[in-house]
Amino acid sequence: MAHKGPIKIAPIEVQVGKQSGKHDEIVVAIFESKGWYLVCTLNQGAVAGSHKYIDAADVVQVVDFSVY
């Protein structure tokens, strides 16, 4: 998922299995919910703490996938 972010924040790319954020945590899940994307790492939203929110209006690309 590519995210353009609000003014003064550089564009970022968030992908399950890749590092993201200032602490370089591995993203374990991204959920879409009522105009937001909820980004979960082991320390934020998946096992502990609150997930990161990304406003769906700021997202410029989403690639859906599923694992069987």
Q: What is the pLDDT of residues 13-64, one digit of tens each?
A: 888 888 876 667 888 888 888 888 888 888 887 666 777 777 788 888 788 7
* Domain boundaries along the sequence of the chain: 2-61
Where residue 3 falls among pLDDT bands split at 50, 70, 90?
low
Sorted by sequence, the CB contacts under 8 Å of residue 27 that are 6+ apart come out as: 14, 15, 16, 17, 18, 19, 20, 39, 40, 41
pLDDT at 8: 59
d(CA 26, CA 66): 18
pLDDT at 65: 72
